[in-house]
Every structure is written in structure tokens, then in C-alpha cells.
């Protein structure tokens, strides 16, 4: 899944070392959300936190990940945006 791969890149870690995404969101629903793109309706997005990072997945395929400033976990990794 692109979200875990991108998050692992941001955190400079191996994806298998991360908590499974399904502990936070339903990855199949997230995938179907991105697959259903309708330019006439503009962008919709899903936002959640995982592994101390705020993650926003846009319906047009962009994933935005930033450290979650409200999280108890402190992480100095930078932000990154990636296409799905």
C-alpha cells in the first residue's frame, strides 16, 4: 500500500517495522476511495493519524504526511507528499 510505503520513507524505516495500517483504517476502503475519482466532484480526502503522523489521502491520488503535533510521540522526520 502506498500509504505505508510513503510513511516508511518519511520515517526512514522499513515498512515491516510499522504498525499495520489496518489497526487505524480499513486499507481496502482507502484504496477504493482513491480509485473512485470523479473530477466533476472535485477533491475529497480522508485524514487520520498513524505512527505519530497526520496522513491525508486525496481522491486524486496524493498522500500528504506530516508529523502529528498533537501526538505524544515525538518524531523529527520531515513532511512528504507522494502520488499513489
Please count the structural domains in the chain: 1
Structural domain of 21: 2-83
As a whole number of angstroms, the distance between CA 28 and CA 65 comes to 19
Per-residue pLDDT of the chain (84 residues; tens, 9 = 90+): 789 999 999 999 999 999 999 999 998 888 777 766 655 567 788 899 999 999 999 888 889 999 988 764 444 444 555 555
Strand pairing report for 80-83 and 45-50: unpaired
Reported pTM: 0.74
User: Which run of H or E residues covers position 80?
Assistant: strand 80-83
Give the ranges where the chain is alpha helix by DSSP (H).
Answer: 2-11, 27-35
DSSP string, 28-47: HHHHHHHH---GGG---EEE
Q: Residue 17 phi/psi, 5° resolution?
A: -85, -10
Amino acid at each position: 500500500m502506498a500509504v505505508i510505503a510513503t510513511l516508511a520513507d518519511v520515517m526512514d524505516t522499513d515498512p515491516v517495522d510499522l504498525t499495520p495500517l489496518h489497526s487505524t483504517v480499513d486499507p481496502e476502503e482507502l484504496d477504493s476511495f482513491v480509485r473512485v475519482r470523479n473530477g466533476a466532484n472535485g477533491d475529497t480526502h480522508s485524514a487520520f493519524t498513524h505512527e505519530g503522523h497526520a496522513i491525508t489521502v486525496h481522491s486524486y491520488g496524493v498522500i500528504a504526511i506530516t508529523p502529528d503535533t498533537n501526538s505524544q510521540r515525538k518524531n523529527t522526520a520531515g513532511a512528504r507528499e507522494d502520488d499513489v
